[in-house]
Structure 1
């Protein structure tokens, strides 16, 4: 029989499921008229699973609770076991939409960050859905430099330990250099003497949040 060529176009439905933790600012219930900026935080590989309490005392949600007057809602989804953040894009964005619909959110100020596997996830999600985020801050991550064109318009502040023994700094530097060659809006902060764990130094730096708030989502 001859080979027949064709094209399938069909709408399908997809069910997503993902655990998460949600941090609300201390003044959220008091300031009923305020719209709050949001940071979506993606964790590292060791926190994958189905026990949401693995995220207790960890990451940006935990750090936010220690910063007086922290003014962001923080969403911390949990990547399922044996999965990765690029595989969970639909679930993460659906969770983001749910929080936006059910909380008092400043829809122009939604930010993205992540550490290690989550740093890679932050690069990836920003490239996949750049219209959803005002800025992104990947920590100790990596991304394909050939896809830098997808991130050219995204404000990015990347962070990496110079002595990282888990994700070599060269992997982050490659995408940063590719973005700079294309005129991208990227800043790269490296930590001399630090290895893989750079969350405390980064999320404890109030200048990061000041930088985020300078950016709003660009509407077409």
Structure 2
């Protein structure tokens, strides 16, 4: 018998729901069965299933959970089949670039999975041998009570070696692999770095905020980056009081003050720890290691109540439960969104034409209408249907079970003349 999905998608006869977007139970169950058959038809990418008719069928809550499990297991099988060699060889590739890495396990693996500490070396614009030495030093610079301590070697020898655009892609792929192949807990992934690695923490922590449980910057320079997107990422900042090269010491104090002000205005966010080591220069005699147990007390919340998403450095198409079409992923744009039960409130939306709001039953009751507003003005009200297509889209390129969503609502952001949030200055 040839599976129904092997050649052509069948015509589905779906009973009309009582409210637009609400699931019809028989059609929902049939969609999940067709997904099961499609996955069983043979190994391969799940991407092509996004356009299957069954992928657009609204699902019941129970069927959405079944679909989620099927999609995740198929993804994990593909990672185990196609990417195990990347971990065995200890290298991630991106085009012509390669990022070797080493890792050490500490302690016993918890039931929830290993913690992961990604530790970036210093160096920068220097001969390869200099950065090689820095990498060797970083491999043993810190220890943790529990977790995988991983030290990558930067793919280039440029001054900005840890915050070029390929780093985002390589770190994303590395984390995706380790979740499946090493049993890493995606809610306990930490970022840290020293000197040029600290530069990278300043840059990567905000622009990949939804990946991190916490981050720690040691002896680096921010190069003017905004830290508004760190609302849900506890951030440790340490520098020597006499580390005056590039004004690292004075800039660190200024960024500490900035985090103080952000937390004072928003006590629910911007957890931070700042330590200036008076009398010390660029080397802090390993006293900065206190940041690792400080970070380890935090776990990521993949669906925080409030998301502040400011695009800096390298633009991304998504952050937590927000996303934009590729053409709207532009530097300088900012969205501030808060969810409250069935309601989503936008208080800032600059540089974005279309905003995608991802949802699941962790966040709201998707059997009831949800509403989206900006500055008090309605943008959407209705059912956000759970679909296999949304599960597949949110899986692609992330491979993170915490960032897998069932439903998606697209809203058009009014231009500056009619956007209430913009008229009030956010």
Under a length normalisation based on structure 2, what TM-score does the superposition of the two structures give? 0.42
1:149 aligned residue: 228
Query: Of the candidates 161, 166, 171, which is equivalent to residue 240 of structure 2?
Result: 161
Q: Is the 1:16–1:90 contact (alpha carbons within 8 Å) kept by the matching residues of 2? A: no
Secondary structure in 2 matching 1:189? strand
Note closer, same or farther for the CA distance 1:27–1:135 as it changes in structure 2 (3 Å cut): closer
Conserved in 1, the CA contact under 8 Å of 2:119 and 2:149?
Answer: yes
After TM superposition, the structure 1 = structure 2 runs for residues 123-134 of structure 1, keeping only pairs within 5 Å, are 123-134=202-213
Cα distance, 1:56 vs structure 2: 5.7
2:90 match: none
Q: Which residues in structure 2 correspond to 1:1-220 (within 5 Å)? A: 15=95, 17-25=97-105, 35-46=113-124, 54-55=133-134, 57-59=136-138, 61-64=139-142, 67=143, 70-79=145-154, 80-82=156-158, 84-87=161-164, 88-143=167-222, 147-168=226-247, 169-183=249-263, 184-198=270-284, 200-203=286-289, 205=290, 208-220=291-303
Compare 117-126 and 191-200 and name the one that shifted more: 191-200
1:35 deviates by: 1.9
Cα distance, 1:81 vs. partner?
A: 1.6
Residues 19, 77 of structure 1: 8 Å contact kept: yes
Alpha-carbon distance, 1:150 to partner = 1.5
CA distance in 2, matches of 1:99, 1:170: 37
> Residues 71 and 55 from structure 1, CA distance in 2 versus in 1: closer, same or farther, beyond 3 angstroms?
farther
CA displacement at 1:36 relative to structure 2: 1.3
Alignment check: 8 A CA contact 1:114 1:122 kept: yes
Contact 2:135 2:153 in 1 (8 A): no
Deviations 1:108-145 (A, max 9, x none): 11111011111111121111011100001100122256
Query: Which one has the largest radius of gyration?
Result: 2
Higher relative contact order (CA 8 A, sep 6+): 1
Structure 1, unaligned stretches of length 5 or more?
Answer: 1-13
Partner Cα separation in structure 2 for residue 126 and residue 56 of structure 1: 20
After superposition, the C-alpha distances for 1:11-70 in whole angstroms (9 at most, x for unaligned) are: xxx637332332222556xx59672101011111259776785356412x3034xx5x73
RMSD of the alignment, in Å? 2.8
